Amino acid sequence: MDKYGIIGFPVKYSFSPKIHNPAFKHLALNAEYKRYEIPPDIFTDEILKLKKANIKGLNVTVPYKQKILSFLDETDPLAAKVGAVNTIKKKGSKWIGYNTDLYGFLLPLRNYFDTIQSVLVIGAGGAANAICFALIDKLKLNILDILNRSKERAELLKEKLESHLNPEIKILSKSQNDNNLKYDLIVNTTNVGMANLKNEIPFNIQNNVHDKTIIYDLIYNPEHTLFLQAAQKLNLTTINGLDMLIGQAKKSFEIWTGQKFPDQVIDRNIFY
Query: Which three-class secondary structure state does DSSP give residue 255?
Result: helix
Contact between 85 and 97 (Cβ < 8 Å): yes
Cα gap 255→89, rounded to integer Å: 7
101 neighbors 250 (Cβ within 8 angstroms): no
Catalytic positions, please? 65
Contacts of 140 (CB under 8 A, 6+ apart): 117
Euclidean distance between CA atoms 33 and 14, whole angstroms: 12
List strands edge to edge, sheet with 118-122. 168-172, 143-147, 118-122, 183-188, 209-217, 237-239
